[in-house]
Chain A
Amino acid sequence: MLLPLLAASVAVAVLGALLWRRRPVVASATTVEADERSQLLALVGEPILERLGDGGLVLPDGTSVETLYRPLEQVGGDFLGSIEVDGDAVAFIGDVAGHGLDAALVALRVKEAVAAAIAAGASLEEAVTSANDLLHAEVSGFATFFACRLGADGQLTYVNAGHVPPLVVEGAPPDQLEPTGPLLGAFPHEYEAATVEVAPDDRLLAFTDGVTEAFGARGGLSEQEIRRLSAERGGFVRLGDAVAAKRPGERLRDDLAAFELTVGGDEGELPDG
């Protein structure tokens, strides 16, 4: 699974380089060239989009991950993923600083690295620490990142690398999951995980700062608005439209990505003790 993805990133990087080489012609740029460029971007963007987004996850016990992905341009720095590992649900979300193809390529590398490490048996903190090393030493990029793993024992383990705190919209305190380490790419750092106990039907909502105004982004939703919306049936699906509705007629200022993790199972299916 990793090799085709890597091959795709290389192809995309080559195409990206070709696109940028077209730029020096700016002085003599014509509308035709601009059109060609946007057509090329659309061609390149589509396969990246498919890899940066995620279709969600449903496990046999009813645990589910629903996803929302709406980039600002054709491609952007937001990414998310969900995978099943040894019967556990793993979901993660990140936001690479910047927009466009450059940010998208960095996002793709981080997403692949984290997913491959976790699938190969690494703990969340190991996967996040190695993603930080990758960004800091090799790629020279920055990203906020949140990953969580729901075990069959009702424990939710998570690592939050400077990411806007996900909200526990249904469940016991804490009502949000604060950072456990700095954003990725800034400094060498050994990340640590934290754990909270969850019960069937608890819900966790994670998003990028395009959704919220927690980081001071203008036009985002407040925590109260997000909580109110999430409490409604089907509220999660309407999150993107709710952000757009805050500034009617204006372009969105940032990428949007979010996932909602719903804890499945009932008392009978959970292990004793």
Chain B
Amino acid sequence: MDDQPFSVEVRRQRGAAVAIVRGDLDLATVPELAAAVDGLLVGEQVTRVVVDLAGVDFVDSSGLTSLIQARRRAEEEGVAFALRSPTERVLRTLELMMLTTVFEIE
């Protein structure tokens, strides 16, 4: 397999925290993203969490549900949540699940 290793890098941009995800977002890698988002929500004050998906070209159903759960947790904390730059393939997956209207996509 020549898949690139999975990674989540966190950057601060003014009031927003951006989690930059690279690699496949699936059953195996979902816990890493969940931990990163949880860390952002319980850590220092952020008003907005953005998950950058430009480096992700495969999301399975577990990956999608982890994004829904992340959005739900952010909502509970009163923090805005958005997805950034999904690839065409990931966007198609979001469309198939009718989630493009549910997620804010920037």
* Chain B hits for A183, CB < 8 A: 61, 64, 97-99
Q: Is the CB of B93 within 8 A of A187?
A: no
Closest to A160 in B: B98
Q: Is A243 an interface residue (CB 8 A)?
A: no
Encode contact with A along B64-81: 1 for CB under 8 Å, 0 otherwise. 110010000000000000
* Chain B hits for A214, CB < 8 A: 96
- Per the bound structure, the CA–CA distance linking A95 and B27 in Å amounts to 14
- State which of B6-14, B33-41, B42-50, B52-60 sits at the interface with chain A: B52-60
Set B89, B90, B97: member contacting A144, Cβ < 8 A: B97
Q: Is the CB of B99 within 8 A of A182?
A: yes
Set A97, A165, A187, A254: member contacting B96, Cβ < 8 A: A165
Set A95, A142, A179: member contacting B68, Cβ < 8 A: A142
- Per the bound structure, the CA–CA distance linking A185 and B68 in Å amounts to 10
* Chain B hits for A185, CB < 8 A: 65
Q: Is the CB of B60 within 8 A of A217?
A: yes
* Chain B hits for A179, CB < 8 A: 96-98
Q: Is B85 an interface residue (CB 8 A)?
A: no
Q: Is the CB of A97 within 8 A of B98?
A: no
Size category of the binding interface on chain B:
10 to 19
Interchain nearest-CB distance for B11 vs A (Å):
26
Q: Is the CB of A182 within 8 A of B61?
A: no
Interchain nearest-CB distance for A148 vs B (Å):
17
* Chain A hits for B93, CB < 8 A: 215-216
Q: Is A99 an interface residue (CB 8 A)?
A: yes
Q: Is the CB of B96 within 8 A of A162?
A: yes
Set A98, A162, A217, A254: member contacting B97, Cβ < 8 A: A162
* Chain A hits for B98, CB < 8 A: 162, 179, 181-183
* Chain A hits for B61, CB < 8 A: 95, 97, 142, 144, 183, 209, 215
Closest to A164 in B: B96
Q: Is the CB of B68 within 8 A of A215?
A: no
- Per the bound structure, the CA–CA distance linking A216 and B64 in Å amounts to 12
- Per the bound structure, the CA–CA distance linking A217 and B57 in Å amounts to 11
Q: Is the CB of B97 within 8 A of A97?
A: no
Interchain nearest-CB distance for B70 vs A (Å):
12
* Chain B hits for A98, CB < 8 A: 27, 62
**Given contacts A162-B97, A165-B96, A216-B57, are A187 and B102 in contact (CB under 8 A)?**
yes
* Chain A hits for B96, CB < 8 A: 162, 164-165, 179, 214-215
Which 6 pairs between the two chains have the least Cβ-Cβ distance? A162-B97, A182-B98, A142-B65, A97-B61, A97-B65, A183-B97
